[in-house]
Amino acid sequence: MTDIQIGLWSVLGIVLLIYSGMHVAVALALLSFLGVLLIRDNYTIASKMLALAASDSISGYIFGVVPLFVLMGMLIAVSGIGKDTFDVANRLFRGIRGGLGIATVVANAVFAAVTGISIASAAVFTKVAVPEMIRHGYTPRFAVGVVAGSSVLGMLIPPSLLLILFGILTETSIGDLFKAGIMPGILLSAAYCVAILVTAYRFPDYVGKVNTQADSGSGPEMTFFEALLKLLPVAILIALVLGGIYAGWFTPTESGAVGALGAFILALGKRQLGWVKLWQVLVETGHVTVSILFLLIAANMYSRMLAISGITGFIGSWFGESGLGLYSVLTVYLVIILLAGMFLDSTSILMILVPLIYPVMQGFGVNFVWFGLVTVIAVEVGLITPPFGIAAFVVKSTLDDQRIGLNEVFSGALPYVFIMVIVLALVVIFPQISLILVR
């Protein structure tokens, strides 16, 4: 068996191991070790390659960005800010047909700007928004579909863990990736809102028998000043974290530290953070961080094994000799991502495919900030597509109403899959949508 064949078999082996239930990092490390062992036929070389990758992979200062933004997201998730942003958005869009759906999307977009984790968005708004929408007459399918569809904004609007992972894998500026995610995030949010508005007027039976009076809520009306006060803390935090990066005051790692401190102060101010909950947040942050860093170590091992096998050069030569242009190669790549999203989680897709396509895209001289946004949007689609869609599973597991099945969550999220594909096509065709804020 040739070195290239070993590399190709490793890709298939990793997919099979992950799909059979093995943790993606374990699968990557195992196949990397076996690949080098088969190629070099030397146990010492294979084991030293693993040791070197483990010591070099996460030794840089930039990797501090991972635990800091995870901690910020966890603190925001327990502080009750998700409910506050939903209340304010509901106040703004009351009286509009489908207003609670639009409020959910807007609140999710704001919440995404201080969490960066889609799972957190899905869990929070399943608890906050779904019961309210059903109580006001929205159909369960529409309610859970809005939450599942808009939860993916957490992986696009910065700070985003997927953008951080892509930046580390390709050595692309995380600050530039964060800036580039703002406009596509706003575009996707606006597209969702327009779709909800059109659906509410054109297909009222799908949305539910909702009147605008009921949609405004049953509690005391919130004044504009009260709404502003509720939103002010999170607005300051967003401006501090993202504005600091954009203005050049902070590096991404420093902005993560500032954001985590700000989120800690907010949680204390809202009296949502006792000693027990703080310990839970710190433990969960540790779990998520270790999982991500372990993935990065394993991905580094895998990239080195692919380089030794020569498969990356082979793929680049194959595409070069095939005569396919950039957009033809990109189309094939995106179709593979969309198909992979049906069976693999978003992190697995990044870890497997990005090291393979990176040398090819280098040959085309693409802007990797733009390419990173294209990749992340495509990967996001998998969060709400069956059978694996993790966001849909989180919505279902968080629901208090067990009458709503998983199939209903997936079918409710289906329109948002099509909207995401349209936005993805626009970002591919018009790169300036993502690059307009990048200097």
Residue 335, classified by CB atoms within 10 Å of its CB into exposed (0-12), middle (13-18) or buried (19+), is exposed
Checking if the pLDDT of 353 tops 80, the result is: yes
Q: Return the DSSP state at 209.
A: S
> What does each C-alpha distance from 396 to 129, 308, 340, 401, 405 come to in angstroms?
14, 43, 22, 9, 7
Q: Are 258 and 244 within 8 A, CB to CB?
A: yes
Q: What integer pLDDT is reported at residue 227 of this predicted model?
A: 72
Checking if the pLDDT of 266 tops 60, the result is: yes
Average pLDDT over residues 76-94: 78
Q: What integer pLDDT is reported at residue 312 of this predicted model?
A: 67
Q: What integer pLDDT is reported at residue 224 of this predicted model?
A: 66
Task: Give the torsion sign (CA, 375, 432, 116, 389).
Answer: negative
* φ and ψ at residue 420, rounded to 5 degrees: -65, -40
Element at 132 (helix H, strand E): helix 118-135
With cut-offs at 50, 70 and 90, classify the pLDDT of residue 83.
Answer: confident
Return d(Cα 436, Cα 439) in angstroms, integer. Answer: 8
Percent of the chain with pLDDT over 70: 93
Residue 112, classified by CB atoms within 10 Å of its CB into exposed (0-12), middle (13-18) or buried (19+), is buried
Q: What integer pLDDT is reported at residue 221 of this predicted model?
A: 61
Instruction: Tell me the three state secondary structure of residue 138.
Output: strand
With cut-offs at 50, 70 and 90, classify the pLDDT of residue 219.
Answer: very low
Query: Side-chain half-sphere of 189: how many Cα atoms within 13 Å?
Result: 24
pLDDT digits (tens, 9 = 90+) for 320-347: 677 778 888 899 899 988 887 877 777 7
Q: What integer pLDDT is reported at residue 210 of this predicted model?
A: 67
Kindly report the average pLDDT of the chain as a whole number.
82
Checking if the pLDDT of 140 tops 70, the result is: yes
Checking if the pLDDT of 368 tops 90, the result is: yes
Residue ranges per domain, the chain? Answer: 3-435
pLDDT digits (tens, 9 = 90+) for 376-429: 999 988 878 877 777 888 888 778 777 788 888 889 999 999 999 999 999 999
Q: Which of 82-86, 90-94, 194-198, 219-223 has the highest mean pLDDT?
A: 194-198
Checking if the pLDDT of 186 tops 90, the result is: yes
Return d(Cα 344, Cα 15) in angstroms, integer. Answer: 8
Q: What integer pLDDT is reported at residue 281 of this predicted model?
A: 86
With cut-offs at 50, 70 and 90, classify the pLDDT of residue 218.
Answer: very low
Return d(Cα 380, Cα 10) in angstroms, integer. Answer: 25
Task: Give the torsion sign (CA, 69, 73, 75, 81).
Answer: positive
pLDDT digits (tens, 9 = 90+) for 124-135: 788 888 888 888
